[in-house]
Structure 1
Amino acid sequence: MDSLAELRTLIGRYAVDDLTATGLPGVLLSVSNTRTQSTHRVYEPVFALVVQGAKRASLGDRLLEYHAGQCLVVTVDLPMCGHVIKASAKEPFLAVGLTLKPAAIASLLLDTASEAPAMANPFGAAVSDATPELLDSFARLLRLLEHPEDAPVLAPMIEREILWRILTGSQGALLRQIGLADSRLSHVGRAIRWIRMHYAEMLRTEELAELAAMSVSSFHRHFRAVTAMSPLQYQKQIRLQEARSQLLTTSKDVASVGLSVGYDSASQFSREYSRLFGRPPGRDAQRLRASAMQECGATARS
Structure 2
Amino acid sequence: MDQRTELSEFLRSRRARLRPEDVGLPGGTTRRRVPGLRREELAQLAGVSTAYYTRLEQGHGENVSAAVLDAVARVLRLGPAERDHLGRLTTPARRRPGRTAFARPQRVRPALQQLLDAMEGVPAYVLGRRLDIIAWNRIGTALLGDFAAMPPEQRNMAWHVFLDPAARRLFEDWEGKASDVVGLLRLEAGRYPDDPRLASLVGELSLKCEDFRSLWASYRIKEKGQGTKRLHHPVVGPLSLRYETLYPAGDCDQVLVTYHAEPGSPSAESLRLLASWDATERRSAAGQAADRNTGQGHEVR
TM range (shorter): under 0.3
More strand by share: 1
Please report the TM-score for the alignment, with normalisation by the length of structure 1. 0.26
The structure whose Rg is larger is: 2
TM-score, structure 2 as length reference? 0.26
